[in-house]
A and B are shown apart, each in its own frame.
Chain A
Amino acid sequence: MSDEQINLDGGQTRMEAAYGSDDGDNDSSAIVAKKEASLGAIFEQNYRPWDGNLGPRWVRNYAIFRHHVFGLFTSKGHRHYNPFVRLTILVIFIGAISPIAMLFFSSLFGAGPDSFIDKMWGINRSNLWGQVLGYFPRNLCYWPLLTALVVGGMISDDRRNGTSAIYFSRPVTRVDYTLMKYLSVAVVLGFVIVFSYMAYYTLAIVFKGEGWGFLIDTLPMFLSGLLCSLLLVITYTSIGLALSSISQSRFFSAIAFLSIIYGTKLVALLIDLQFETSILYILSPYDCLAHLGQWLLGLELNYSHSLSLSVVSLIMMNVISIMILISRVSSLEVTRE
């Protein structure tokens, strides 16, 4: 049979018989179905050009922001946060919004304005201050731990892994890099601290069925508390990122942040107890914020030193932290660390 008669392309092939029962003069062959042999994949290296358009500056900046913030919700494709970190942040968030649950139960039970639940968790000056600046559990456990977990590695990982080269060998400026890192941390902190505060105020009004009069009465207090929460987010972000930028270890930046927050508070407390002077509280970021917050919300001041000292100290802390941050980001290398 000739090759023309065999449809080779159509899956037929010719099988030559190697051994037969005849005398060997005939060409023994048969048409059989062709079996596709598995040859494996042969790697062929082909350079493929790309002619797409590159987005402007905000596209690059949003990529940095998205990489760091979305990583908290899904580690797929974004910055990897340890599951323990994500779980801890979730627990902190739930803890921060726990007064909402109490207000919800209060509304179910029909408790009046003088009830225990309402005094403890209802909207008033002390509770609005406490929602952001209360020491236990928020400023003893929640906010410092939250900040330490988020800022740890934010810049120090780039220094340790050399990933700063990925940023700066591209059209990402150091200003954009710093701003986006700052914004990423601030948004995560803000989501827990500011969002929980706003949710608390809003849902309290909803659950208690308060009217416009209550809203107008409490709005200035709410806005003061909001300002406090923003100042807290800014201050903790500045200090945390500055610490992250000076090391190659996420552990160092986290522990250093906790040490500053707790250490200054402890030293000032001991001095206050021993010598009955509150002046050393100006070294404690939390106490400066608490002092300012008390004034903004119209509460009685717990501190004997002047408010202006706390305000100046707060400004200085932020300025020094940002200066350290700028200086250290400037020193991040592209070619060699």
Chain B
Amino acid sequence: MTVDSAPKLVIETKDLVKMYGPHIALQGLNLKLESGATGILGPNGAGKSTFFKCILGLITTTSGEGTVLGYDIRTQGDLIRSKIGYMPEYDSLDPGLSAIDQVRYSGELIGMNPSQATQRAHEVLEYVGLKDQRYRKIETFSTGMKQATKLACALIHDPEILICDEPTNGLDQRARDFMLQTLRNTVNQGGRTVLMSGHVMDDIQEVCDNIVMIHKGKIVVHRRIDELAKQVDEEIEISVWGGSSRMQNSLESRGLSVRRLGRVMRIKVESEETIPLILECAVESGVQVRKMGEYKPDLEDIFLLIMDKLGAEVKQTSDLMTSEHTGGANV
């Protein structure tokens, strides 16, 4: 089953400010999030958790306003939380309970009656791949199984918005892939909205179409990932053998911009002449070019670029980007 529906506005904030005493956690957040999958990025202390708490209606905002699914975050927190599934980053499971009981209890806490909650707990545990382990106690679970159980707890009432706080934390490759696939299915099959925070860019890129970057309580970027990728300079990636430093010097002496990672170099494409120039440099330096190809920037590059600009070239976040970079968001 695939749900195709036009994107609709699910979260909207206007000049949202949250202060903890003198510390400003969120500085006038203006955000319009549509349905689909959105990654929330930002370094520790950027304000991601505060943002989640605000949209869950758990803390009172200092000023500004916001709505989630049309409900006011200042006055209708209960209604919002009944429509949202939240998967916390940290352990939030009772080790003495079996998975089925934990998921069922989390359903009851949202207002499902016991029989409904039990039936639905079986369904969601099957969905997250724990069908055969559902009667096992959580204390015997691996990290991946615990993460899956937390996801099942969040999905039990079929929430319209699923908030996942670093869902791949501590997972091995197989468990990570399955978790990301599950989140993708939740968006594509279930037609749910997923808000996913994290530090691992690849994870965000695999699930999300959009990203929101928060830095020092401000939104610095809010755009589609593929559009952002276009902002990063086109590069040629080469892998060289013998005399990497000579090669780098040669390239730079011809005015090319080089990013070097050991034997791997990424050279900014200046013109159509860049590739012949690279080959000339290789001949001149006496190095073997063992691999050459177009380098497609990933979210990691985008993130590093933006953070680099935040830290080095700009003095204030408001100076960071043009409206082209931020998708029109006011920074």
Interface residues of A (CB under 8 A from B): 43, 45-52, 54-56, 59-60, 63-64, 67, 75-80, 157, 161-173, 334-337
Task: Please measure, in the bound complex, the distance between the C-alpha atom of A228 and the C-alpha atom of B92, giving whole angstroms.
Answer: 39
Within 8 A of A (CB), among B78-113: 78-79, 81-82, 84, 86, 88-97, 101, 104-106, 108-113
The reply to whether A171 and B93 form a contact with Cβ atoms under 8 Å apart is no
The reply to whether B56 and A171 form a contact with Cβ atoms under 8 Å apart is no
CB A264 to nearest CB in B, in angstroms, measures 33
Chain A residue with the shortest CB-CB distance to B111: A54
Is B285 among interface residues, defined by CB-CB distance under 8 A? no
Q: Which residues of A contact B89 (CB under 8 A)?
A: 335-336
A60 with B108, Cβ < 8 A, contacts A46-B127, A47-B186, A163-B94 known: yes
Task: Please measure, in the bound complex, the distance between the C-alpha atom of A164 and the C-alpha atom of B93, giving whole angstroms.
Answer: 9
Besides A64-B109, A166-B106, 19 more A-B contacts (Cβ < 8 Å) are A45-B127, A45-B181, A45-B182, A45-B185, A47-B127, A47-B192, A52-B120, A55-B113, A63-B108, A77-B101, A79-B97, A80-B94, A161-B91, A161-B93, A161-B95, A165-B90, A165-B92, A334-B88, A335-B49
Task: Please measure, in the bound complex, the distance between the C-alpha atom of A162 and the C-alpha atom of B78, giving whole angstroms.
Answer: 20
CB B25 to nearest CB in A, in angstroms, measures 12
Task: Please measure, in the bound complex, the distance between the C-alpha atom of A165 and the C-alpha atom of B109, giving whole angstroms.
Answer: 11
CB A52 to nearest CB in B, in angstroms, measures 5
Contact check: which of A49, A75, A79 meets B190 at CB < 8 Å? Answer: A49
The reply to whether B79 and A171 form a contact with Cβ atoms under 8 Å apart is yes
Number of residues in B with C-beta < 8 Å to the partner? 51
Contact check: which of B110, B182, B189 meets A170 at CB < 8 Å? Answer: B110
Q: Which residues of A contact B182 (CB under 8 A)?
A: 45
A171 with B190, Cβ < 8 A, contacts A49-B158, A52-B112, A63-B105 known: no
CB B218 to nearest CB in A, in angstroms, measures 19
Is B157 among interface residues, defined by CB-CB distance under 8 A? yes
Q: Which residues of B contact A80 (CB under 8 A)?
A: 94, 96-97
The reply to whether B56 and A54 form a contact with Cβ atoms under 8 Å apart is no
The reply to whether A166 and B82 form a contact with Cβ atoms under 8 Å apart is no
The reply to whether A60 and B109 form a contact with Cβ atoms under 8 Å apart is yes
Task: Please measure, in the bound complex, the distance between the C-alpha atom of A140 and the C-alpha atom of B109, giving whole angstroms.
Answer: 38
The reply to whether B105 and A47 form a contact with Cβ atoms under 8 Å apart is no
Chain B residue with the shortest CB-CB distance to A157: B94
Contact check: which of A47, A56, A67, A157 meets B189 at CB < 8 Å? Answer: A47
Q: Which residues of A contact B209 (CB under 8 A)?
A: none
CB A151 to nearest CB in B, in angstroms, measures 17
The reply to whether A55 and B111 form a contact with Cβ atoms under 8 Å apart is yes
Task: Please measure, in the bound complex, the distance between the C-alpha atom of A171 and the C-alpha atom of B109, giving whole angstroms.
Answer: 8
Q: Which residues of A contact B200 (CB under 8 A)?
A: none
The reply to whether A54 and B49 form a contact with Cβ atoms under 8 Å apart is no
Q: Which residues of B contact A169 (CB under 8 A)?
A: 56, 81, 84, 86, 88
Q: Which residues of A contact B158 (CB under 8 A)?
A: 49-51
The reply to whether A334 and B86 form a contact with Cβ atoms under 8 Å apart is yes
Is B58 among interface residues, defined by CB-CB distance under 8 A? yes
Task: Please measure, in the bound complex, the distance between the C-alpha atom of A46 and the C-alpha atom of B190, giving whole angstroms.
Answer: 9
Is B165 among interface residues, defined by CB-CB distance under 8 A? yes
CB B254 to nearest CB in A, in angstroms, measures 51
Task: Please measure, in the bound complex, the distance between the C-alpha atom of A52 and the C-alpha atom of B114, giving whole angstroms.
Answer: 12
Contact check: which of A46, A51, A56, A76 meets B1 at CB < 8 Å? Answer: A46
Q: Which residues of A contact B186 (CB under 8 A)?
A: 47
Q: Which residues of B contact A165 (CB under 8 A)?
A: 86, 88, 90, 92
Is B17 among interface residues, defined by CB-CB distance under 8 A? no
A337 with B86, Cβ < 8 A, contacts A55-B111, A60-B109, A79-B96 known: no
The reply to whether B105 and A334 form a contact with Cβ atoms under 8 Å apart is no
The reply to whether B58 and A167 form a contact with Cβ atoms under 8 Å apart is no
CB B82 to nearest CB in A, in angstroms, measures 5
A59 with B111, Cβ < 8 A, contacts A47-B127, A54-B82 known: yes
Within 8 A of A (CB), among B10-52: 49, 52
The reply to whether B78 and A337 form a contact with Cβ atoms under 8 Å apart is no
CB B276 to nearest CB in A, in angstroms, measures 49
A161 with B129, Cβ < 8 A, contacts A49-B158, A170-B106, A171-B110 known: no
Mask: chain B, 131-168; 1 = CB below 8 Å from A; 0 = not:
00000000000000000000001001110000001000
Q: Which residues of A contact B86 (CB under 8 A)?
A: 165, 169, 334
Chain A residue with the shortest CB-CB distance to B155: A47
B88, B112, B158 — which one has the most chain A CB atoms within 10 A of its CB?
B88
Contact check: which of A50, A56, A59, A161 meets B92 at CB < 8 Å? Answer: A161
CB A5 to nearest CB in B, in angstroms, measures 39
Q: Which residues of B contact A64 (CB under 8 A)?
A: 109
Task: Please measure, in the bound complex, the distance between the C-alpha atom of A79 and the C-alpha atom of B88, giving whole angstroms.
Answer: 21
Task: Please measure, in the bound complex, the distance between the C-alpha atom of A335 and the C-alpha atom of B52, giving whole angstroms.
Answer: 8
Chain B residue with the shortest CB-CB distance to A77: B101
Q: Which residues of A contact B90 (CB under 8 A)?
A: 162, 165, 336-337
CB B329 to nearest CB in A, in angstroms, measures 24
Contact check: which of A48, A54, A167 meets B127 at CB < 8 Å? Answer: A48
Is B323 among interface residues, defined by CB-CB distance under 8 A? no
Task: Please measure, in the bound complex, the distance between the C-alpha atom of A75 and the C-alpha atom of B137, giving whole angstroms.
Answer: 12
Task: Please measure, in the bound complex, the distance between the C-alpha atom of A168 and the C-alpha atom of B158, giving whole angstroms.
Answer: 18
A163 with B92, Cβ < 8 A, contacts A45-B185, A47-B190, A169-B81 known: yes
The reply to whether B91 and A162 form a contact with Cβ atoms under 8 Å apart is yes
The reply to whether B88 and A170 form a contact with Cβ atoms under 8 Å apart is no
Q: Which residues of B contact A46 (CB under 8 A)?
A: 1, 127, 189
